[in-house]
Amino acid sequence: MIASRPAASGAGAILGLALLLVLAASVSLALGAAQIPAREVLGALLDRAHPDHLLLFEVRTPRIALAALVGASLALAGALVQTSVRNSLADPGLLGVTSGAGLGALVWLVFAPTHALGLSAAAMLGGLAAIVPVLALSAGASGPGGAARLILVGVAANALFGSAIALITFFFADRAPAYVAFTVGSLNARGWPDVSIVAPILVFAGVGVALLRHPLDALLLDDTSARSLGVPVRALRLGACALAAALTGAAVSVAGLVGFVGLVVPNVVRMRVGPEHARLLPLCALGGALLAVVADTIARSAAAPLELPVGALLACVGGPYFLWLVLRGHA
């Protein structure tokens, strides 16, 4: 039997994670290709005349903010998808939602002028289209063999979107380089304009998530029981999936194909505080932000001046973790 410790207090955990996030962001400001002594960071950030001000304010700060926003979005999306299909192995990346969003972004990059807002919208639409088969299958995803079915659908969706992506990059090779950079999953050369796209979407989706946090708990029961409690199960699930697609699309449109945040973070948080959403969701957002900030800091400082692709870095952690979840029968 798994030890049933009393659920950790939500407020304390939220405060702790928030402090850790601030700490990680501060450390991240000082690290990078150009080292800035820790005690000068704050001064340089506030003093426009400081030689490092531009680097800190125009390059590192928006990048850290973006990493936090992307991580929070992906972790929330993961938690929402996992609740919708009632299976903790689900993840926007594994189910093909991320590559659907990637396909949407690619279509925009190739066929339409590269206006960033349109790119986000296209990525969100792609994610939304990809989530349809997930929804169709969600009813049976908790039953026997549900995990296997879920993963098979993910394989099929990823193969389908992958082939569409390959064909488009083949036929429009001249316009593809932008996309190749995109597939790696990186926050390189992102600035305030990107923040101004993702932040409002995350805030908007965050409000939706906050409003749904109590009703979503009904999806932790089987459909019949949830319906008998007067919960509009299908509409609620659709809403949760739409929010997940919007969050994934926004994240993908600025950070490219970053995976596994949506799998790792909600599972770790759920193990600590249980599956109830009022606690789970805020902690997922903070945990996702923390993981992404740490990963991006490592990506740009570990081999500086070379930049490691953060998507690959996260997959290094996420892949083995996923295997461990499967082996342990956590589905």
Instruction: Give the interface with other proteins as residue ranges (CB under 8 A).
Output: 1-2, 4, 6-7, 86, 88, 142, 211, 214-215, 217-218, 220-222, 224-225, 227-232, 270-271, 274-276, 278, 330
Residues 82 and 142: beta-carbon distance below 8 Å = no
CA 252 – CA 1 distance, rounded (Å): 39
Closer by beta carbon to other proteins, 145 or else 232: 232
Closer by beta carbon to other proteins, 254 or else 269: 269
Distance of CA 127 to the CA centre of its chain: 12
CA Rg value for the chain = 20
Closer by beta carbon to other proteins, 162 or else 274: 274
Residues 136 and 216: beta-carbon distance below 8 Å = no
CB of 215 to other proteins, least distance (A): 5
Cβ partners under 8 Å of residue 12, min gap 6: none
Closer by beta carbon to other proteins, 4 or else 327: 4
CB of 237 to other proteins, least distance (A): 14
CB of 279 to other proteins, least distance (A): 10
19 class by beta-carbon count within 10 Å (0-12 exposed, 13-18 middle, 19+ buried): exposed
Which H helix or E strand runs over 27? helix 10-30
CB of 78 to other proteins, least distance (A): 15
CA 59 – CA 54 distance, rounded (Å): 7
CB of 86 to other proteins, least distance (A): 6
Residues 52 and 44: beta-carbon distance below 8 Å = yes
Residue written as token pair 């959403």? 277
CB of 28 to other proteins, least distance (A): 32
Within 10 Å of residue 146's Cβ, how many Cβ atoms?
Answer: 19
Closer by beta carbon to other proteins, 36 or else 79: 79
Count of all residues that appear for the chain in the document: 331
CB of 225 to other proteins, least distance (A): 5
Closer by beta carbon to other proteins, 60 or else 86: 86
Closer by beta carbon to other proteins, 51 or else 144: 144
